[in-house]
Structure 1
Amino acid sequence: MLTLLPSLLPSIAAATLYAAATVHQGRCLYKRSVPDKRLLALFGVLALLAHGTALLTQLLGHVGLSLDFFNSASLIAFAVITITLVACLSIPVENLLVLLFPLGIVTTLLAQFMPSGTLQPIDEEPGILAHILLSLLAYGLFTIAAVQALLLLVQNHQLKNKHPLVLIKNFPPLQTMESLLFGFIWAGWGLLTLSLISGWLFLENLLAQHLAHKTLLGCLAWIVFAVLLWGRNRLGWRGHKAIRWTLAGFCLLMLAYFGSKLVREYILHI
């Protein structure tokens, strides 16, 4: 069954505004000019308002919270773009938006037009809802960190070959990019820690059949990021080693959340 019709117009509006922001930023980067930050912020905020309006209908359209696969992806994209826009007020991360706005387009339209999975709406106590919110915010921050790591990998490769792309030429220096990366990782790791603690406190059985793999993969991701942060502080890890550990932890988290949801809702239908 398709998502409720009241979310149709805001979903299309959000996708259109994200697209307009992407085109504006892409043209400026291609011309090697600086995008108008005010215009970029205006497009982004308006898109988020429309995106949030659509999400409210999609998430609360039934009794309880409807967090199926595509709604969850849309919610995480909303959180990621919001965090990045807020971060732009104090740190130079606006170039990340040229990749995140298209993510907003795709997830908004998929949440609107793809059929829902078999997951039943969530009608739980505040503690469990807090656990879910902490998990989604942690995934959001680690998504930004993963995008940042990929851009850092491309930037490092291009600078070594002395043929940087137009997009890369507009990025901050490598040292600044790495500092931003670890800032996102520290914040994401803190939220992931709170998410795991809240899970142990409020969920009856974290090792139940439908939660065991998610718990195990989430704990493994926590360990990977903990080792990465230790290596950064104690051993000065940076460059390719830091990028590999970041992407490894991110993949574990995505398998924990989206992998399990995809299998359960669209393959096993449970």
Structure 2
Amino acid sequence: MLALPSSLLPSLASALFYAGITAYQGARLARGAKANRTLLYGGGIIAVLLHALALSSQLLAPGGLNLEFITAASLIAAAVIALTLLACASLPVENLLVLLYPLGLVTVLVAQFAPAGTMPRIDQEPGILAHILLSILAYGVFTIAAFQALLLSVQDHQLKHKHPSGPIRAFPPLQTMESLLFGFLWAGWVLLSLSLISGWLFLENMFAQHLVHKTLLSCLAWVVFSVLLWGRTRLGWRGHMAIRWTLAGFVLLMLAYFGSKLVREYILHI
């Protein structure tokens, strides 16, 4: 009898919860109404816990930690959703979930059914594992900031053209949305700074052949976010300027975290 992977059932159950909550919140937003918080958060918490259960089997492989491209993407998606749910306790960011729950749905299914890459298992000292954790958290927070920037762009466009749709009417005021964006940017910048510092401290050579692209792109992203935060503090940057710089920095970070992994594992097979 063929044994089923231990991650299969929690992956499918998590996907069902993500799909159900996404459909419910999307329908409520389309009518300009707020979703029931118990359903929105309760269903999301169950979905992300099941997602984490599936990941525990996929990550903890014989020989070390499995952080292949697809598994890493699923881990980051789960971390982003968990961070957003925590933020919802004190910040009006529940509208981000209508974008993040589908992300969780896609990544949990892809991680379960897509073919494996070729990355070797990670069995390293605590310092390097801390660097990896900080990198994942930094990327997760900047992912939230990028989604916040996209929502801010849509809200700003519709308000300027004076035809806000039902979903936009359910959003917090524009000034609140912008303040939240910069709160996420500051948190992500601190985590990215710690990630780079820990890399310099614990990695033997951050400019080794297999790390040089990630290092350079991460440093460029750090510069972009630093300039943006300086511009906000000193020059009062906001609106489209903040949105463009946020998305530019996020694209650099996405290329750093996933571009090299995708090429190495699925094109070069190394």
For 1:110, give the aligned amino acid: V
Offset, 1:79: 0.6
Task: Note if contact 2:61-2:121 (Cα within 8 Å) is conserved in structure 1.
Answer: no
Tell me which residue corresponds to 2:155. 155
Q: 1:258 aligned to 2:258?
A: yes
Tell me which residue corresponds to 1:168. 168
Partner deviation per Cα, 1:230-249 (whole Å, 9 max, x = no partner): 00000000000000000000
Offset, 1:107: 0.4
Provide the C-alpha distance between the structure 2 equivalents of 1:12 and 1:112, rounded to a whole number of angstroms.
Answer: 9
Partner deviation per Cα, 1:93-113 (whole Å, 9 max, x = no partner): 000000000000000000000
Tell me which residue corresponds to 2:125. 125
Tell me which residue corresponds to 1:223. 223
Provide the C-alpha distance between the structure 2 equivalents of 1:137 and 1:166, rounded to a whole number of angstroms.
Answer: 33
Tell me which residue corresponds to 2:59. 59
Partner deviation per Cα, 1:165-201 (whole Å, 9 max, x = no partner): 2211111111000000000000000000000000000
Runs of 4 or more consecutive aligned structure 1 residues displaced over 2 Å after TM superposition: none
Percentage of identical aligned residues? 70
Tell me which residue corresponds to 1:106. 106
TM-score by length of 2: 0.98
Provide the C-alpha distance between the structure 1 equivalents of 2:37 and 2:250, rounded to a whole number of angstroms.
Answer: 29
Task: Note if contact 2:31-2:167 (Cα within 8 Å) is conserved in structure 1.
Answer: no
Tell me which residue corresponds to 1:244. 244
Offset, 1:62: 2.7
Where does the alignment leave 5 or more consecutive residues of structure 2 unmatched?
none
Q: 1:23 aligned to 2:12?
A: no
- Does the residue aligned with 1:181 lie in a helix, a strand or coil? helix
Provide the C-alpha distance between the structure 1 equivalents of 2:105 and 2:71, rounded to a whole number of angstroms.
Answer: 13
Tell me which residue corresponds to 1:134. 134
Task: Note if contact 2:193-2:222 (Cα within 8 Å) is conserved in structure 1.
Answer: yes
User: Could you say what the CA RMSD is over the residues aligned between the two structures, in angstroms?
Assistant: 0.8
TM-score by length of 1: 0.98
- Does the residue aligned with 2:197 lie in a helix, a strand or coil? helix
- Does the residue aligned with 2:110 lie in a helix, a strand or coil? helix
Provide the C-alpha distance between the structure 1 equivalents of 2:33 and 2:252, rounded to a whole number of angstroms.
Answer: 38
Provide the C-alpha distance between the structure 1 equivalents of 2:194 and 2:70, rounded to a whole number of angstroms.
Answer: 24
Tell me which residue corresponds to 2:73. 73
Provide the C-alpha distance between the structure 2 equivalents of 1:117 and 1:166, rounded to a whole number of angstroms.
Answer: 42
Task: Note if contact 2:232-2:238 (Cα within 8 Å) is conserved in structure 1.
Answer: yes
For 2:9, give the aligned amino acid: L
- Shifted more, 30-39 versus 245-254: the winner is 30-39
Provide the C-alpha distance between the structure 2 equivalents of 1:71 and 1:84, rounded to a whole number of angstroms.
Answer: 20
Partner deviation per Cα, 1:111-136 (whole Å, 9 max, x = no partner): 00001100001000010000000000
Provide the C-alpha distance between the structure 2 equivalents of 1:159 and 1:31, rounded to a whole number of angstroms.
Answer: 17
Task: Note if contact 2:7-2:55 (Cα within 8 Å) is conserved in structure 1.
Answer: yes
Provide the C-alpha distance between the structure 2 equivalents of 1:255 and 1:170, rounded to a whole number of angstroms.
Answer: 33
Where does the alignment leave 5 or more consecutive residues of structure 1 unmatched?
none
For 1:215, give the aligned amino acid: T
For 1:96, give the aligned amino acid: L
Offset, 1:267: 0.3
Provide the C-alpha distance between the structure 2 equivalents of 1:20 and 1:264, rounded to a whole number of angstroms.
Answer: 35
Offset, 1:34: 1.4
Task: Note if contact 2:32-2:168 (Cα within 8 Å) is conserved in structure 1.
Answer: no
Partner deviation per Cα, 1:61-116 (whole Å, 9 max, x = no partner): 33200000110000000010000000000010000000000000000000000011
Provide the C-alpha distance between the structure 2 equivalents of 1:98 and 1:116, rounded to a whole number of angstroms.
Answer: 29
Provide the C-alpha distance between the structure 2 equivalents of 1:166 and 1:208, rounded to a whole number of angstroms.
Answer: 51
Offset, 1:32: 2.1
For 1:238, give the aligned amino acid: R
